[in-house]
Amino acid sequence: MKYMLMICDDESDVLSPAEVQALPQVQDWDAAVDGRGIRRGGARLRPSSDARTVRVRNGEVLVSDGPFAETKEQIGGFGIIECSSLDEALEIAAMHPAAADGAVEVRPLWETND
């Protein structure tokens, strides 16, 4: 089954993509996931200040700046992994560096054969 890992962290810790990739803990996590052959995709997201939220109410399109949630901790990236069980996906999420001071939400994907 495929799972999305939503990487939630404090946006005030601003590092460039190159700086993040250079962190030893990120390199270790990448190596562990790639070593298992379970990575199916993922990306880092730009800050929530670059986001827009779209809603349609009574036929009117409403666009607001930023994310829907008004919190300090925001989704800063995501990963897609394919694991044999939820337990394996949780193990991989617990190994992610963001789990130590942020959070990693693990959510199964609906697939066309579900």
Q: Which residues pair with 5 in a beta bridge?
A: 79, 106
List of E strands, 45-97 = 52-57, 60-65, 73-82
pLDDT at residue 4, as a whole number: 97
pLDDT digits (tens, 9 = 90+) for 59-100: 999 998 876 655 667 888 999 999 999 999 999 999 999 999
Cα torsion at 89, 34, 31, 106 (round to 10°)? Answer: -20
Question: Can you tell me the mean pLDDT for 103-108?
Answer: 95
**Domains in the chain, start-ordered, CATH in brackets?**
2-108 (3.30.70.1060)
Q: What pLDDT score does 63 carry?
A: 92
Task: Give the residues across from 6 on adjacent strands.
Answer: 78, 105
* Torsion angle, alpha carbons of 62, 105, 16, 54, to 10: -10
pTM: 0.85
